[in-house]
Amino acid sequence: MSILFSTILMGSIGLIFSIFLVIANKKFHVEVDERITKIEEALPGVNCGGCGFASCSNYAEAIVTKGSKLNMCVVADSETLAKLGEIMGVKVEKGEKKIAVVMCRGDREAAKFPGIYKGIKDCAAAIYSSDVAKRCKYGCVGLGSCVAACPFDAIHISEHGIPIVSIEKCTGCGNCVEACPRNLIELHPVSQKIHVYCKSKDPGAIYKTVCTNACIGCGLCVKAATNDNNPDAIKVSDNLAVVNYDNYKLKKEYIEKCPTGAINFEQNVK
């Protein structure tokens, strides 16, 4: 009967191939700690690289085999962290959230533009191909390479031409930091709200010719901090004020005397 023959034939094929697979499975077996698979499944799976590893699988492997810290995933919420802790048998505390801070206030009103750039919509391309992108050699050209790099839709170019970061959506993964060709974006804890939003090392004369929001290195913020018995909070070098992030102790009063508004409070976020 052909039905019987077909059944036996198919069954035999299945049997033979499954035996092949058993042999192959034994021959090519790779010992994998099952905790790695469990952790990988618990992680968000976005592969954003915020933890510093290339992918969620790499991070999972590092946790189990190299003892990496469990709270390095910036996207994980407290529920996920608890799950990770459960798999590894430890308690996990979420580190303080860091967000991206765009260190430039040279928008279309403040900064000078020698011409109109009509080229590839990429900041690196604009900077390396011409000088028309912006007069300031240190500032943000607003073409959105950081926007393109963000996997969380957390950064957008405002109508004034400077990127704005959403505190809620930003996970501090650092992709925009890598994408900016002028290294203008830095990751800082949310609680740190005062920064010097400028990286220009040009002397004070630039105020009129390059950008009216630039830091001219006048040192008035340093004076205010010193008067408050906080001399190391801010330093000026190369015509640029730099905040001491190792020992962050800034108050709102320090920024009041700034002539250009370069050192400022809660800029470029929403």
Among 2, 191, 229, 247, binds other proteins (CB under 8 A): 2
31 part of the interface to other proteins, by CB under 8 A:
no
27 part of the interface to other proteins, by CB under 8 A:
no
The mark string for 36-75 relative to other proteins (x by CB under 8 A, - otherwise) is --------x-------------------------------
DSSP-assigned states of every residue in 206-239 = HHHHTBTTS-----HHHHHHHHTT-TTSEEEETT
Nearer to other proteins, 25 or 191 (CB): 25
Nearest to 143 by CA among 195, 151, 130, 152: 130
Nearer to other proteins, 44 or 85 (CB): 44
With contacts defined by CB under 8 A, name the span among 5-13, 105-113, 141-149, 184-192 that binds other proteins: 5-13
Cα dihedral across residues 201, 262, 140, 178: positive or negative: positive
Q: What CA–CA distance (Å, rounded) separates 154 from 164?
A: 8
Q: What CA–CA distance (Å, rounded) separates 162 from 141?
A: 8
With contacts defined by CB under 8 A, name the span among 7-15, 129-137, 163-171, 202-210 that binds other proteins: 7-15
Nearer to other proteins, 78 or 130 (CB): 78
Q: How many residues are listed for the chain in this entry?
A: 270
15 part of the interface to other proteins, by CB under 8 A:
yes
14 part of the interface to other proteins, by CB under 8 A:
yes
Tokens representing 199 are 């990286």
What is the residue type of 7? T
9 part of the interface to other proteins, by CB under 8 A:
yes
Q: Is 99 exposed, middle or buried (0-12, 13-18, 19+ CB in 10 A)?
A: buried
219 part of the interface to other proteins, by CB under 8 A:
no
Question: Residue 24: which residues within 8 A CB-CB, separation 6 or more?
Answer: none
With contacts defined by CB under 8 A, name the span among 2-10, 66-74, 190-198, 211-219 that binds other proteins: 2-10
13 part of the interface to other proteins, by CB under 8 A:
yes
Nearer to other proteins, 45 or 114 (CB): 45
Size of the site for other proteins (CB under 8 A): 20
32 part of the interface to other proteins, by CB under 8 A:
no
19 part of the interface to other proteins, by CB under 8 A:
yes
Question: Residue 116: which residues within 8 A CB-CB, separation 6 or more?
Answer: 132
Q: What CA–CA distance (Å, rounded) separates 103 from 81?
A: 31
Q: Which residues bind other proteins (CB under 8 A)?
A: 2-3, 5-11, 13-15, 17-19, 21-22, 25-26, 44
